[in-house]
Structure 1
């Protein structure tokens, strides 16, 4: 049965958890890869065998969701 609660309908449109931007640093050979986050932290992610070392990716729930282009990054303090 479909819900008529507008908030519940809206929550379905939003992906749970945030996306994390990272750089792939190593392929582990078992379907996982090592990824380095912008703060220098290293995590292991699923689905990384098809992504080459050095490529930038979006990660959600410890799984690579998409490859993103390498663009210049700037940090500005306000």
Structure 2
């Protein structure tokens, strides 16, 4: 990879790591509800009611069940 391309790619942010609750399962897809109420679908392992970490449509693991704190500026 050329240096210019490598520098350009370093400017593009990685997909964010999200946390949410698995609310439905259909085949291999999980519906995950985020703290703001939005829903996304992701592939991976997770049971209904379980908190999970999701990045780029893939469940990366189980998240601890902690209270949500929203900070607004």
TM-based fold match above 0.5: yes
What pairs up with 1:1-78 in 2 under 5 angstroms? 16-28=14-26, 30-47=27-44, 50-77=45-72
Pick closer, same or farther for the CA change 1:75–1:18 going to 2, 3 Å: closer
Q: Helix, strand or coil for the counterpart of 2:16?
A: coil
RMSD: 2.4
Q: 1 CA distance for matches of 2:51 and 2:41?
A: 14
Q: 1 CA distance for matches of 2:18 and 2:71?
A: 20
Greater Cα radius of gyration, structure 1 or 2: 1
Q: Helix, strand or coil for the counterpart of 1:18?
A: coil
The gaps in structure 2 that reach 5 residues or longer are none
Contact 2:52 2:61 in 1 (8 A): yes
The gaps in structure 1 that reach 5 residues or longer are none
TM-score relative to the length of structure 1: 0.68
